[in-house]
């Protein structure tokens, strides 16, 4: 009994005695580290090849067999339209100029039997504007040949123009033999090249790109519907369908939601319904789990470079074009922009736009973009004494490795 009482007394007194070790209280749980957003695997796509890219940044979100050469079918007409838009831009022709329809471009040409047409009449004169509508909306093979003959005199010469434009745009796995896409062993492209062509068309000719969103076109009292069945869905405003037995059912689609535009290329599906559904899957995935943000605005001050021998002691640096980055949704706050390699030995005069450094953009410690830093304003040479003393100071700095 006495031992029990002593034990109770000690249990009461010991915690109050100085220097006595105390059991640590249960530690509060550490705050959980912020979790990274969950990005699921891309959807399975029932096609021979595909690619999904951001139209502004060129970021490839998902791809499969994107560099495999395939028959493009009527997707060829995207380049036909691009060449026509270039001819309009450079002033070679005007939209209201007309083309005489020859037996080669006549809708009754036996080579066109069973193919899509805008139904032009032989010996008629049709404007480039109508031919462009017939090319894009009706997917007319007759319109394609008429444009080719109008701009180049023959399909063969026009194919050379197409290939020259392809080389300029960097379509390294594409070769055209005609303006419409009917099969030829030397007529091929890839999903990646078609995405590149799509981006060029949207960026280089935005005013002409609007035609690709139109759902129907009437010519010769014949009303035809655009075969792109994604038109009318959220943000979808293009681009082109294609089909031959060799190519399968193909679709290049583009949609813009908010500030983000995506391009999806799907080649070699089994049906019209399949090309629509598989393209929808890609666009939905991209918009759901990725976002594009502008990290650096063109013309905004990013850094300052010291100028030696100038009327001004420094010059502001920035980028000439906006820097847009595509990242998994929820990671925008993690993007870091860092000015690097700002030149120290900058001597006047300095021209506006002169490259004086670089700026890099990184995510998780990995550089994801890099752009030149350029002078945002000119700096003229200073007076004699300014140039003399600055050149002397710069000489000693370079001598002792300070510049």
Domain-located, residue 25 = no
Tell which wins on pLDDT, 402 or 204: 204
Q: What is the pTM of this model?
A: 0.82
Strand ranges for 46-89 from DSSP E = 49-54, 60-64
Q: Are residues 228 and 312 in the same domain?
A: no
What residues contact 325, with CB distance under 8 A and at least 6 apart? 57, 59, 292, 293, 295, 335, 361, 363, 368, 369
Domain-located, residue 231 = yes
291, 316, 332 - which closes a domain = 291
Report the C-alpha gap between 401 and 24 in whole angstroms: 57
User: Residue 21 pLDDT more than 70?
Assistant: no
- Residue 312, class by beta-carbon neighbours within 10 Å (0-12 exposed, 13-18 middle, 19+ buried)? middle
Report the C-alpha gap between 78 and 239 in whole angstroms: 8
Q: Are residues 245 and 349 in the same domain?
A: no
Q: Are residues 307 and 277 in the same domain?
A: no
**Lowest-confidence region among 38-42, 62-66, 72-76:** 38-42
Q: CA of 33: how far to CAs of 29, 36, 231, 300, 385, in Å? A: 12, 9, 43, 34, 59
pLDDT digits (tens, 9 = 90+) for 231-279: 999 999 999 999 999 999 999 999 999 999 999 999 999 999 999 999 9
Does the annotation mark 139 as catalytic?
Answer: yes
Domain-located, residue 214 = yes
Q: Are residues 375 and 245 in the same domain?
A: no
Taking a C-beta distance cutoff of 8 angstroms, is the pair 132, 209 a contact? no
The pLDDT value given to residue 401: 61
Domain-located, residue 19 = no
For residue 170, the domain's CATH number is 3.40.710.10
Domain-located, residue 30 = no
What average pLDDT score do residues 72-81 get? Answer: 98
What average pLDDT score do residues 319-344 get? Answer: 86
User: Residue 67 pLDDT more than 50?
Assistant: yes
pLDDT digits (tens, 9 = 90+) for 128-157: 999 999 999 999 999 999 999 999 999 999
Domain-located, residue 7 = no
Tell me the pLDDT band of 399, cut-offs 50, 70 and 90: confident
The pLDDT value given to residue 264: 98
Taking a C-beta distance cutoff of 8 angstroms, is the pair 301, 318 a contact? yes
Residue 58's CB is within 10 A of a number of other CB atoms, namely 13
- H/E segment holding residue 237: strand 236-244
Q: Are residues 102 and 207 in the same domain?
A: yes
| Active-site choice (105, 115, 116, 139) | 139
Residue 353 domain boundaries = 297-399
234, 261, 291 - which closes a domain = 291
Q: Strand, helix or coil at 336? A: strand
Angle at 136 between CA 132 and CA 138, to 5 degrees: 105
Does the annotation mark 74 as catalytic?
Answer: yes
291, 307, 331 - which closes a domain = 291
Domain-located, residue 232 = yes
For residue 339, the domain's CATH number is 2.60.410.10
Domain-located, residue 75 = yes
The pLDDT value given to residue 392: 66
Q: What's the mean pLDDT when you consider all of the chain? A: 88
Does the annotation mark 124 as catalytic?
Answer: no
| Active-site choice (77, 115, 144, 281) | 77
| Active-site choice (48, 74, 115, 240) | 74
Distance of alpha carbon 242 from the chain centroid: 22
Domain count, the chain: 2
Q: Are residues 286 and 353 in the same domain?
A: no
- % the chain with pLDDT above 70: 87
Taking a C-beta distance cutoff of 8 angstroms, is the pair 226, 239 a contact? no
**Lowest-confidence region among 18-27, 77-86, 137-146:** 18-27
Q: CA of 57: how far to CAs of 61, 127, 203, 244, 355, in Å? A: 11, 35, 12, 32, 22
User: Residue 166 pLDDT more than 50?
Assistant: yes
pLDDT digits (tens, 9 = 90+) for 180-239: 999 999 999 999 999 999 999 999 999 999 999 999 999 999 999 999 999 999 999 999
Q: Are residues 67 and 129 in the same domain?
A: yes
Q: Are residues 284 and 302 in the same domain?
A: no
Taking a C-beta distance cutoff of 8 angstroms, is the pair 306, 278 a contact? no
Q: Are residues 66 and 155 in the same domain?
A: yes
What average pLDDT score do residues 366-371 get? Answer: 87
- Residue 72, class by beta-carbon neighbours within 10 Å (0-12 exposed, 13-18 middle, 19+ buried)? buried
Q: Are residues 307 and 362 in the same domain?
A: yes
Tell me the pLDDT band of 368, cut-offs 50, 70 and 90: confident
Q: Are residues 264 and 364 in the same domain?
A: no
Q: Are residues 82 and 150 in the same domain?
A: yes
User: Residue 342 pLDDT more than 80?
Assistant: yes
Q: Does residue 349 have a cis bond before it (omega within 30 degrees)?
A: yes
User: Residue 23 pLDDT more than 50?
Assistant: no
For the record, the structure tokens of 77 come out as: 């007409």
Report the C-alpha gap between 62 and 49 in whole angstroms: 11
């Amino acid at each position: 009994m006495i031992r029990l009482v002593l034990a109770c007394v000690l249990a009461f007194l010991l915690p109050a005695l100085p220097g006595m070790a105390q059991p640590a209280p249960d530690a509060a749980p550490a705050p959980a580290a912020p979790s990274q957003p969950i990005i699921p695997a891309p959807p399975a796509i029932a096609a021979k090849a595909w690619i999904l890219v951001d139209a502004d940044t060129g970021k490839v979100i998902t791809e499969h067999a994107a560099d495999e050469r395939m028959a493009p079918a009527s997707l060829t007409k995207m380049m036909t339209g691009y060449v026509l838009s270039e001819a309009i831009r450079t002033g070679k022709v005007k939209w209201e100029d007309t083309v005489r329809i020859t037996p080669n471009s006549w809708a009754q040409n036996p080579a066109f039997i069973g193919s899509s047409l805008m139904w032009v009449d032989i010996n008629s004169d049709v404007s480039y504007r109508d031919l462009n509508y017939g090319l894009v909306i009706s997917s007319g093979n007759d319109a394609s040949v008429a444009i080719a003959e109008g701009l180049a005199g023959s399909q063969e010469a026009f194919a050379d123009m197409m290939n020259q434009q392809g080389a300029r745009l960097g379509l390294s796995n594409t070769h055209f033999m005609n303006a419409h896409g009917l099969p030829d062993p030397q007529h091929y492209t890839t999903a990646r090249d078609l995405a590149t062509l799509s981006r060029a068309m949207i960026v280089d000719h935005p005013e002409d790109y609007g035609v690709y969103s139109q759902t129907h076109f009437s010519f010769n009292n014949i009303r035809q519907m655009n075969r792109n069945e994604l038109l009318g869905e959220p943000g979808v405003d293009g681009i082109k369908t294609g089909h031959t037995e060799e190519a399968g059912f193909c679709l290049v689609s583009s949609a813009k939601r908010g500030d983000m535009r995506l391009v999806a290329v799907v080649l070699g599906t089994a049906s019209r319904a399949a090309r629509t559904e598989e393209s929808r899957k890609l666009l939905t995935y991209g918009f759901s789990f990725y976002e594009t943000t502008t990290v650096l605005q063109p013309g905004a001050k990013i850094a300052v470079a010291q100028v030696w021998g100038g009327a001004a002691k420094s010059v502001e640096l920035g980028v000439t074009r906006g820097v847009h980055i595509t990242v998994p949704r929820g990671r925008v706050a993690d993007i870091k922009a860092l000015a690097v390699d700002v030149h120290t030995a900058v001597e006047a005069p300095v021209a506006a736009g002169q490259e004086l450094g670089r700026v890099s953009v990184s995510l998780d410690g990995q550089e994801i973009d890099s752009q030149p830093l350029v002078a945002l304003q000119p700096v003229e040479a200073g007076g004699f004494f300014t140039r003399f003393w600055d050149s002397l100071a710069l000489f000693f700095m370079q001598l002792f490795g300070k510049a």
